A and B are shown apart, each in its own frame.
Chain A
Amino acid sequence: MFQPVRAPHQDHHKSPIMDTTLYTAKLPYLIYSIQPGNGQSGMRSSSNQQLPVISQTSTCSLSSESGDPCGSAKWAASLLRECAKAISEKDSTKIHHLLWMLNELASAYGDCEQKLASLFLQALFCKATETGERCYKILTSVTEKSRSFESVRKMMLKFQEVSPWTSFGHVASNGAILEAFDGGSKLHIIDISNTFCTQWPTLLEALATRSDETPRLKLTVVTTVSMEKSVMKEIRQRMEKFARLMGVPFEFQVVSELSRLAELTKEELGVQEDEAVAVNCIGALRRINVKDRDAVVRMIHSLGPRVVTVVEEEADFTSSSMDDQFVKCFDECLRFYSLFYEMLEESFSTTSNERLMLERECSRSILSVLGCDGEVEVDVGDEESEIRERGRQWSQRLRKEAFSLVGFSDDVVDDVKALLKRYRAGWSLVLAQGDDDSAGLYLTWKEEPVVWVSAWKP
């Protein structure tokens, strides 16, 4: 796939400042020029002349490094790693060259490799040019404008139909919540999730059918992500109607004035004394700034919930904020997102809009982690984070704040297993075992754990 002979293009490199049109051809939203002197000034003309040589060597080195006979098949990973290494070493010529190559080969609409290349290319570019924050803001506003309740709904429902990635967490959490609530008549669920309330219809149905006395349910949805706020209105209507349909006395409230999850307080949530409280965090804890995570867990503890369900993706991006750890973080990102993209490819049909939407979300997320040193200040005080931690790490935090694990009952585990059976092959369930820090259930895709769910009580 490498095209070492690129004679016409090489001429461009003779200009002192890298011609950014090459890059902007595929990155229309970026209008910055690369400053070639990223930490290393060089004789540009001389370095440019060296390029053909470099390209040859790098080609050779790359193919020899990849190791497998069909070395070009997983070209994206190797190229990307090289580029990340170059960035961390501040080797600007190499950076340029690799970015350029990636740009040529990447495509957001191509095969899995091309998509991955495209995904990371943007983040790497921003990292190299230190334009991450601005780019992130642009992406965010673009997404906000292009999203609607309809598109979000389609995306979530389709995703849940073809893949258990989110429904795994839903089924396990609902099971734990129902069991913790057993017998209560006034229930209050505090929902901090990124799944747009798609978890709750099945819970409402279960509440209506399981018990003779249908309990009252109050659902408090906490959202800080700006684009969620706009669809919340529609979601509220649907939830209320559906609860009526199910015959469950229902109240829906939204807490949306926060700019950061760390600002959440007990008072804001409106927890009452006689309610049984459950806190449901799906993809939520990772959105808290790393330094505030313990504090938020403490606050949740102070609500006195019957159960706290936590669902997070199994990856460790915590090294992103450390300068010398860029490559390590990058590798982890690459690993995780390769899995995710592969899963998307195998679950969705080739030309699925919903898949594209999910992939765009990934690019935002990656940009935040890699291109912005982990934490982006979208507006003053309004920070969003996407730094994931592994189940083990979250367990440590929760234990530190005096939470203890609630095991999932056999019934719930059976329900999850039955759920997985309804999807294509490749998915399975693994119970965490081993030392003290392990907890919960893992969803695995081709033997790799990808999603972690657990339940805790104070």
Chain B
Amino acid sequence: MLEKMAGEAISGAFNQETVVGSNPPVVKKKRNLPGNPDPEAEVIALSPKTLMATNRFLCEICGKGFQRDQNLQLHRRGHNLPWKLRQRTSKEPKKRVYVCPEKTCVHHHPSRALGDLTGIKKHFCRKHGEKKWKCEKCSKRYAVQSDWKAHSKTCGTREYRCDCGTLFSRRDSFITHRAFCEALAEETARVTAAYKMNNANAGNISYPFMGTSLRSNMVQHFSSVFKPIPSSNGAMDQTRPGLSLWMDQESQTNQAMSNNLTELHQMGSSSIGTVYADPFSNPPHTDYQVNWAFGNKLSSTNAGELTSTTPPLTNLKEVGSPRLASAPSLYSTQHYHHQLPPAIMSATALLQKAAEIGATSTNPSFLESYGLKCNNNQIQDGNKYNDLFSPSLIPTNLGSDLDNSVRDLTTLNHLQMYPRKRPKTLNDDAEEGQTRDFLGVGVQTICPSSINGWI
């Protein structure tokens, strides 16, 4: 598996920093990065013929050949050897690494040799071999039989669900449908095909998947632009039951989230451009979120200004991807909640993001605006919130502020039933009282259990 990663996706992309396999403590035998072998190991270069020979390990007693050393040892036991001869002939065998016989291959050089014989065999087949194994259903070809078997098990079992609700068993008809579907006209750019490729269950909740998909598709690619929800309906379902759902997962996924968002930024801006392209093509959906997020950029105490849709929206549109990249939460927010009333959307998303996003450095604007929401006192110090929103901490420092906004949510949950409110709502409520934030609902404490979930 590691060799596979080395050979295909990661070769060249990562340097000596290991991604997996080197985290465990020293007690375990240290595994080198695939393709970067132990310098003291003995380098073996086999010819293609020898490499592909199936029975390299021969029993000295009966001459039977085996594919693997372990199998040979097992076999030797059956010969009832006296104890002395039972031991392996040499001392702890010198570590062996193998180079690929193909000259043009990156693993041909001893410094990039692979440590496992089976691994090098598979690599050679996959990269340089003839693809003899073919899937019946989708005609995909494989050089290694085990790859083919693994694929055949899952091929055709995947189901694809369009946002409009239709289920497809065939990928091509799903794609064609998707391109013409009504749902496409409304929704923001989401990865569907790639998402479906990565995940068997179309309708699952997004959090755990965010980690896997983003990590596994690091290349600049639409497939790596992962959208939190498979479908907007899914989002609704997740948020309606209340915060408990995501709160439970918060602890597990926070770390993943922060990593992911960092990765999200590292992706090419073109990807993000894609990501953000659609939301902003639909002003009715987006004006609210935009206002909200960029509220802090305007004179924030004046809620009226916040409701004016044109300036921030224009800003956003003109700026293009780099600026957009600074507000991933904004995007995700819209994405999640474009069907919910904007006011409610803001708060819910806000709190969700707070829980999810550990890496506060990636979204200062978000935090500032959150701070803004909590109370009308300008909380200018984003850093304070940076700490607060780190995964392990609960923003207890916010104290009443948090309580206020958190309480907000219960009311908000009720309000989810109502149709989307227009900017007018924001206006009205913001004018009033002290702790009224511009979300337009009373800022009150949410049920204590929710707070505890944060703590």
What is the interface of chain A, defined by CB distance below 8 A to chain B?
A: 153, 157, 160-161, 167, 171, 198, 200-202, 204-205, 208-209, 212, 214, 237-239, 241-242, 244-248, 411, 414-415, 417-419, 421-422
Given contacts A205-B175, A209-B221, A244-B278, 11 further A-B contacts (CB under 8 A): A160-B173, A160-B176, A208-B222, A238-B185, A241-B184, A247-B225, A248-B222, A411-B141, A414-B139, A414-B141, A422-B170
CB <8 Å contact, B176 and A198: yes
Contacts of B173-212 to chain A: CB distance below 8 A: 173, 175-180, 184-185, 189-194
Q: Mark B141-185, 1 if CB is under 8 A from A, else 0.
A: 100000000000000000000000000001011011111100011
CB <8 Å contact, A414 and B134: yes
Collect the chain B residues with CB atoms within 8 Å of residue A198's CB.
176, 180
Contacts of B240-277 to chain A: CB distance below 8 A: 270-271, 274, 277
Q: How many A-B residue pairs have CB under 8 A?
A: 81
The closest CB in chain B to the CB of A208 belongs to B222
CB <8 Å contact, A245 and B139: no
The closest CB in chain A to the CB of B268 belongs to A247
What is the interface of chain B, defined by CB distance below 8 A to chain A?
A: 134, 136-139, 141, 170, 172-173, 175-180, 184-185, 189-194, 219, 221-223, 225, 270-271, 274, 277-278
Contact with B189, one of A209, A244, A248 (Cβ below 8 angstroms): A244
Given contacts A201-B178, A202-B175, A245-B184, contact A418 B139 (CB under 8 A): yes
A174 to chain B, nearest CB (A): 10
CB <8 Å contact, A239 and B179: yes
Q: How far is the CA of A123 from the CA of B348 in the complex (A)?
A: 65
Given contacts A201-B178, A212-B219, A246-B222, contact A421 B278 (CB under 8 A): no
The prevalent SS among residues of B at the interface is helix
A418 to chain B, nearest CB (A): 4
Most chain A CB atoms below 10 A, which of B170, B221, B222, B274: B222
Collect the chain B residues with CB atoms within 8 Å of residue A414's CB.
134, 139, 141
Collect the chain B residues with CB atoms within 8 Å of residue A205's CB.
175, 193
Q: How far is the CA of A424 from the CA of B347 in the complex (A)?
A: 51
A373 to chain B, nearest CB (A): 37
Collect the chain B residues with CB atoms within 8 Å of residue A419's CB.
172
CB <8 Å contact, B222 and A245: yes
CB <8 Å contact, A247 and B184: no
CB <8 Å contact, A247 and B172: no
Q: How far is the CA of A451 from the CA of B270 in the complex (A)?
A: 41
Closest 4 CB pairs of A and B: A247-B222, A201-B179, A414-B139, A242-B179
Collect the chain B residues with CB atoms within 8 Å of residue A421's CB.
136-137
Collect the chain A residues with CB atoms within 8 Å of residue B179's CB.
200-201, 204, 238-239, 242
Q: How far is the CA of A239 from the CA of B184 in the complex (A)?
A: 10
Collect the chain A residues with CB atoms within 8 Å of residue B271's CB.
247
Q: How far is the CA of A239 from the CA of B137 in the complex (A)?
A: 28
Collect the chain A residues with CB atoms within 8 Å of residue B138's CB.
418
CB <8 Å contact, A161 and B222: no
A-B contact pairs, 5 of them (CB 8 A): A208-B223, A241-B278, A247-B270, A411-B139, A414-B141
Given contacts A208-B222, A418-B139, contact A247 B180 (CB under 8 A): no
Q: How far is the CA of A241 from the CA of B163 in the complex (A)?
A: 15
Collect the chain A residues with CB atoms within 8 Å of residue B141's CB.
411, 414
A176 to chain B, nearest CB (A): 15
Collect the chain B residues with CB atoms within 8 Å of residue A208's CB.
221-223
Contact with B139, one of A238, A242, A417 (Cβ below 8 angstroms): A417
Given contacts A239-B179, A422-B170, contact A247 B134 (CB under 8 A): no
CB <8 Å contact, A238 and B175: no
